[in-house]
Structure 1
Amino acid sequence: MSWFARLRGRRQEPDVPVAPPAPTTAEILASAHQVEQQIAGKVPAAVTARVLRITRTVDDMAPRLDRLGAGSRQAHTVVATATSYLPEAVGGYLRLPRDFADRRVVSKGKTSLMVLCDQLDLLGVTLDKISDAVSREDANALVAHGAFLAEKFGGSSLALAPEAGLDTPQVELP
């Protein structure tokens, strides 16, 4: 606030930092698919297969992120994978000369290609666990609804056998 404004008795509200809005589903999907476009014809098949696995899971998960709850670690992991982790991993690999990246050992007996594949495998497994947890919750809701209907409208094949119940495991993130 200026000295003149203070003199006149005017108070200025302090600036409150505003967090950027969360990316939309379209932005999340576009980020993941941009990586697909970046690698087209530039990487070995092993990298392409892993990136496609990740982008398919992001395609499946992005519209369902609201089921994970606001501020959930799992939702954050899906968004960060599509918008940051995947593009950064692949971008680092693409900046290297192909011969160096694919043949020169850089860490613990591994080439940059092998390091990238390890990173993509970790991202893929993590997203698969999150996707499975969300799908299990949806399946549990379906089973519970069937039990409700069976109880409300009479016994049928909708009644649950004790061993038919699904358990929702907690997903541990690295």
Structure 2
Amino acid sequence: MGFWDRVLGREELPGPASAEEVATAPTAADINASLDRVERLVADPAVPGVVRARALAITTTVRRTLPRLDLLGLGSYDSYSVVATATDYLPEAIGAYLRLPRDWADSRPVEGGKTSLLLLIDQLDLLSVTMEAIFDAANTTDAAALVTQGRFLQERFGHAHAPELNLAVPTPTPAAEPAEADTRSEPTS
């Protein structure tokens, strides 16, 4: 765009994006590598146990959810949230906290009377609840299919008017011994 184009308010039309400008979605390997980095960050003994436990709970839930992302719908808000949590939200929250001096981050109120540590815990709790809800949603898809299949089977084979099926295997009973003939005569009256 030239000088006169800017002065006259002419906008340059965007051309085709170069390969470098097109962002690609993270692969499962990228997501797992990001989760590995978070786990290494919180393994530092300087990280408070409450942070470590919450972060590890989130990484565990994300890892359990990854194979089920297709059930949420590729490109859905939930699947995006899982990927963004693993690659952006979680690493950034923990990274921002770890860049602060420990004594300052854990003792100085920075917002609403809360320290950086308490703010981080709130953020981790929110991410944890959200990831658990998304994991449940992914599993609910299969659970709903199981319920539907059960209803179909009940309707198909479980009619009340149909004779009840006895699927028990009968156990053979020994043959009755022939009764000996009673040679006594009964008195007649």
> Please, what TM-score do these two structures have when normalized by structure 2?
0.70
User: Aligned to 1:36, which of 17, 39, 50?
Assistant: 39
Q: Which residue number corresponds to residue 129 of structure 1?
A: 133
Aligned partners of 2:72 and 2:137 also within 8 Å = no
Query: Is residue 30 of structure 2 the alignment partner of residue 27 of structure 1?
Result: yes
Give 4+ residue runs of structure 1 displaced > 4 Å after superposition.
none
Conserved 8 A contact 2:71-2:141: no
1:70 maps to 74
Deviation at 1:15, TM superposition (A): 2.2
Show the counterpart of 1:15. 16
Q: Which moved more, 1:22-31 or 1:41-50?
A: 22-31
Cα distance in 2 for partners of 1:15, 1:131 equals 38
Distance in 2 separating the partners of 1:37 and 1:63 = 22
* 8 Å CA contact 1:31, 1:83 repeated in 2: yes
1:143 partnered with 2:147: yes
Where does the alignment leave 5 or more consecutive residues of structure 2 unmatched? 1-14, 160-189
Alpha-carbon distance in structure 2 between the residues aligned to 1:82 and 1:150: 42
Q: Which residue of 2 aligns with 1:99?
A: 103
Q: Cα offset for 1:134?
A: 1.5
**Matched pairs, number:** 142
Shift of 1:141: 0.6
Query: What letter matches 2:146 in structure 1?
Result: L
Matched-pair contact (CA < 8 Å) for 1:36–1:52? yes
CA distance in 2, matches of 1:15, 1:140: 44
Q: What is the RMSD of the two structures over their aligned residues, measured on CA atoms?
A: 1.6
Larger radius of gyration: 2
For residues 47 and 128 of structure 2, the distance between their equivalents in structure 1, rounded to whole angstroms, comes to: 18
Match among 54, 57, 64 for residue 53 of structure 1:
57
Tell me the CA shift for residue 42 of structure 1: 2.5
